[in-house]
Structure 1
């Protein structure tokens, strides 16, 4: 007859719940796995499979009852770590979406917006096109597999512990979030610069010929120049997007390293 003690059951439960919370946090926040089109059952099944595969890298777990308050705090901390790692890749796609929004507004396509199921809001046509291109590039360079590799490495660089994560992890995440604006502007800079020159030329033309209808001529010209520049710059966005993905994966690793710098001698959880 097989008998199991409560200590063994708690150890098995902790070995599943704590890493599963980190894995599900990354799946929920990452741009590809966390897509709203993916069913919840598929996300949970994928999380359980990944947790089973990564179980040998867990190391020694804290001797804490997972159903106690300290165990619940560990669960929340692991989920926050997974969400932070997935959010770093979400920032990459947010920067690309911002580049599309800036280009659309400059071209005069701010009114051509569609419903975006990922953000449950409105986004422009150019923004959605760039997002689809970035998603295909994300899959083509196997960045989703590298992200899962970074997740597995996080269990080695930052094992599950009852001590709190360092303050450097939220600061690193905040600094990385600021990249949305700088990178979005850099990606849309060729189109914005071309449309700025076009607007200046139209202004000079209007001064030279006041009888010219600026609203009747300016909008088609601006729209045409915007689409031409978009077609010219798309082949050259390959390397910037790949570098941006590499920086996002490295940032997810830095989040784990920054959180691993725990404060010694300062337990965050009370003893069970």
Structure 2
């Protein structure tokens, strides 16, 4: 018994897998080095399998140059969508980096093998916690649903709208800064007031050497109130997942 697979369906499946693979290489949580490459490859094919039949009519002819051109286009589209999603979720780590900077933890930078970058204590912790909450809350399903919708809005023969990408990217940058301030803002205000109080104390009583006491005091405040900032993360992750899904669909033409 021989099974024949239509060429258009096979081409559509392979090209859709390229888009999802490029997206998974950039998008948060799924791009972690803790996930083996073969698992990421299987996941990209699993995302492409259900949408491949609907894309068969939009598949390019089975020739070298059309296939190569379409493959490059799908990689670019997937990477662009992944970067946009990553930009929004980077607000969590940016908030942790701000807390490290204002709280006196920025001197403790260490190499993070998962992100291949140097991060301080709260930056690493917030990044890991955000990935955990993204998976535990089911918000990653919203992100995946938004990405799979792009196959319908932007099929294999479609072109990425640069004006739409520019508009959504500008909006994503705004959401990035707003989310960063919403997560880290309350603690940063307390640390700023602590700096002001220490400055006034050094003027009133120079013999106390207030700035020498400032470092341990700010660390104590950061550790004490840092848990309060964590209460904002679950709602922030859900909101960012919804915004990421909307942004990805907006680029695709929704």
Whether the TM-score (by the shorter chain) exceeds 0.5 is: yes
Are residues 168 and 75 of structure 1, via their aligned partners in 2, closer, same or farther at CA, if it must alter by over 3 Å?
same
Structure 2, unpaired ranges of 5+:
none
Cα distance, 1:241 vs. partner?
Answer: 2.9
Q: Give the match for residue 11 of structure 2.
A: 14
1:126-165 alignment to 2 at 5 Å? 126-161=122-157, 164-165=159-160
1:37-186 alignment to 2 at 5 Å? 37-65=34-62, 67-161=63-157, 164-175=159-170, 176-186=172-182
Q: Give the match for residue 202 of structure 2.
A: 206
Are residues 59 and 10 of structure 1, via their aligned partners in 2, closer, same or farther at CA, if it must alter by over 3 Å?
closer
Cα distance, 1:106 vs. partner?
Answer: 0.3
Are residues 170 and 117 of structure 1, via their aligned partners in 2, closer, same or farther at CA, if it must alter by over 3 Å?
farther
SS in 1 for 2:119: strand
Given that residues 102 and 185 in structure 1 are in contact (C-alpha distance below 8 angstroms), is that contact kept between their aligned partners in structure 2? no
Cα distance, 1:10 vs. partner?
Answer: 4.7
Given that residues 84 and 255 in structure 1 are in contact (C-alpha distance below 8 angstroms), is that contact kept between their aligned partners in structure 2? no
Q: C-alpha distance in 2, partners of 1:29/1:75? A: 17
Cα distance, 1:224 vs. partner?
Answer: 1.1
Cα distance, 1:131 vs. partner?
Answer: 1.4
Q: C-alpha distance in 1, partners of 2:235/2:242? A: 10
Cα deviation 1:115-162 (Å, max 9, x = unaligned): 12343110111011111221122112212222222222211122110x
Cα distance, 1:38 vs. partner?
Answer: 1.2
SS in 2 for 1:164: coil
Q: 1:24 aligns with which of 15, 21, 26?
A: 21
When the two structures are aligned, how many residues end up with a matched partner?
Answer: 253
Cα distance, 1:13 vs. partner?
Answer: 4.1
Q: TM-score if structure 2 supplies the norm length?
A: 0.89
Are residues 60 and 195 of structure 1, via their aligned partners in 2, closer, same or farther at CA, if it must alter by over 3 Å?
same
Cα distance, 1:188 vs. partner?
Answer: 1.3
Q: Give the match for residue 249 of structure 2.
A: 253
Q: C-alpha distance in 2, partners of 1:45/1:95? A: 29
Q: TM-score if structure 1 supplies the norm length?
A: 0.84
Given that residues 8 and 59 in structure 2 are in contact (C-alpha distance below 8 angstroms), is that contact kept between their aligned partners in structure 1? no
Q: Give the match for residue 235 of structure 1.
A: 231
Cα distance, 1:95 vs. partner?
Answer: 1.1
Cα deviation 1:31-66 (Å, max 9, x = unaligned): 12221121111111222222222223325124423x
Bigger proportion of residues as helix: 2
